[in-house]
Amino acid sequence: MADSEPPEHGTLVVAALIILALAFAAAWIATYVEPGGNPRALLPWFGAGAAVIIIWGLVTYIRPRRKGPGRQG
């Protein structure tokens, strides 16, 4: 288990998705209570944001990390 990656990477991705979900909920509520508002118009924007975060997380997880001069392994 010594060769496994530290858990910080997954934590950052999850934190970014949680923050995006909270922002989406706030925007949905604000648009929903607005007269004539269409909260479904938010879906493509926040969906694209979630896709970017997930793709970024997958790419950085799959890509091998470079070993710096101070790293062992």
Q: Each residue of 28-60: pLDDT tens digit?
A: 999 999 999 999 999 999 999 999 999 998 888
Is there a domain that residue 17 lies in?
yes
Q: Are 16 and 60 in contact (CB under 8 A)?
A: no
72 three-class SS: coil
CB 27 within 8 A of CB 34: no
Tell me the pLDDT tens digit for each residue of 8-22: 677 888 999 999 999
Q: Is residue 57, in this structure, part of any structural domain at all?
A: yes
Residue 30's domain comprises 8-62
In a domain, 72, yes or no: no
- E strand map for the chain: none
How many domains does the chain fold into?
1
Residue 34 counted as domain residue: yes
Q: pLDDT confidence of 62, banded at 50, 70, 90?
A: confident
